[in-house]
Structure 1
Amino acid sequence: MDKELIMQLNRTFEECAHQQNGIEFWFARELQELLGYSEWRNFLNIIAKAKDSFISIGEEVSDHFVDVNKMVKIGSGAERKQEDIMLTRYACYIIAQNGDPKKEQVAFAQSYFAISTRKQELLEERIQPEFGLSR
């Protein structure tokens, strides 16, 4: 992967992150596009595998995958509900790990989320003793 593509993908992944009440998350439908999956139903299979991974390690799935409905515009200017999922950074990491590594975007995401998840863990480890927090 060339350096320019890596820089572009990094910007794109950061720009797709959302913040709500101080919590960072990604929408699954946006992540689907970022990872190069054209069909929602195919991407749902990847999400299901990621959820299984969370269950197998004893993580609470609902802490990382939150089902939501968004309103999207349709042809005539009307709107309809569309299901989506709010994902934590860790959920995105596990989804990327379950994706197709032959896709350049997935290969990049595997590295991107692994590094950024580890940075977050290290930051939390430093902050916890400073503020008297415990896990």
Structure 2
Amino acid sequence: MDQKRVETIKQQYDLVVHSDADANIEFWYARELMPLLGYERWENFENAISRAIESCETSGVTLSDHFREVT
């Protein structure tokens, strides 16, 4: 992927980033990321998230470092 494309994608993500200054973290809401990743239906994106969570569990990655349940 060329540098220009990477910068464009980063700018798109930066538009929807949220931050918690007290916890010193940045985070994104799945429903805001969904269209950036090419998903039109929440159900399909939810399946992708479930697969990502499963992959993290299989790899021994601490889920709470990467996923938070919100409503």
Q: Same fold (TM over 0.5)?
A: yes
Cα deviations across residues 79-99 of structure 1 (Å, max 9, x unaligned)?
xxxxxxxxxxxxxxxxxxxxx
Q: Which residue of 1 aligns with 2:42?
A: 40
Structure having the higher strand fraction is 1
1:2 offset after TM fit, Å? 8.1
Answer 1 or 2: higher relative contact order, Cα 8 Å, separation at least 6.
1
Structure 1 residue runs without a partner (length 5+): 70-135
Q: Which residue of 2 aligns with 1:31?
A: 33
Identical counterparts, % of pairs: 41
Q: Which residue of 1 aligns with 2:59?
A: 57
1:12 offset after TM fit, Å? 1.0
> Which runs of structure 1 show a deviation greater than 4 angstroms over 4 or more consecutive aligned residues?
1-4
Bigger Rg, which one: 1
* C-alpha distance in structure 1 between counterparts of 2:3 and 2:64, whole Å: 36
SS at match of 1:34: helix
Correspondence 1:1-135 to 2 at 5 A: 6=5, 7-20=7-20, 21=22, 22-69=24-71
1:10 offset after TM fit, Å? 2.4
Cα deviations across residues 40-98 of structure 1 (Å, max 9, x unaligned)?
000011001100111011122233211112xxxxxxxxxxxxxxxxxxxxxxxxxxxxx
Letter of the structure 2 residue corresponding to residue 8 of structure 1: T
Cα deviations across residues 98-122 of structure 1 (Å, max 9, x unaligned)?
xxxxxxxxxxxxxxxxxxxxxxxxx
Q: CA RMSD in A?
A: 2.0
1:11 offset after TM fit, Å? 1.0
1:25 offset after TM fit, Å? 0.8
Structure 2 residue runs without a partner (length 5+): none
* C-alpha distance in structure 1 between counterparts of 2:35 and 2:57, whole Å: 25
59 and 3 in structure 1: CA distance in 2 versus 1, 3 angstrom threshold: closer
Equivalent residue pairs, number = 68
